[in-house]
Amino acid sequence: MKRLMMLVAASTLGLAATAYAQDKPCMADAARLCQGIEPGGGAQMQCLKSHKEELSPGCKKKVMQMKIKNMENKELQQQEQGNPPPPTP
């Protein structure tokens, strides 16, 4: 019984760690590539972008999603201000 409880606890912790890693896919990359750079303010994201060839697949996907979201936000702000969006490359 004790062994079964330990097995259930271990598998639950494993699932939690996997879910957390999927939620924060760049944490390990940031720790490895951007030591000493505190999160927040965009410095860590800039560091990750400068190491784009060294990023894990999950982090590359997250960085690309952030880039797209930032572009969409800038376009929305320009539309709200009455400015036409910049031409798409």
How many domains does the chain divide into? 1
User: Could you report the per-residue pLDDT of 11-67, keeping only the tens digit for each?
Assistant: 444 443 333 344 588 999 999 999 999 888 889 989 998 999 999 999 999 989 988
pLDDT at site 50: 93
pLDDT at site 3: 56
86 in any annotated domain: no
The Cα–Cα gap between 24 and 59 comes to 8
Is the model's pLDDT at 10 over the cut of 60? no
Phi, psi at 87, each rounded to 5°: -65, 145
3-7, 14-18, 82-86, range with the lowest pLDDT: 14-18
pTM: 0.57
85 in any annotated domain: no
Q: Which domain holds residue 42?
A: 2-80
pLDDT at site 68: 92
Tokens of 17: 């760690």
89 in any annotated domain: no
33 in any annotated domain: yes
13 in any annotated domain: yes
Amino acid at 64: M
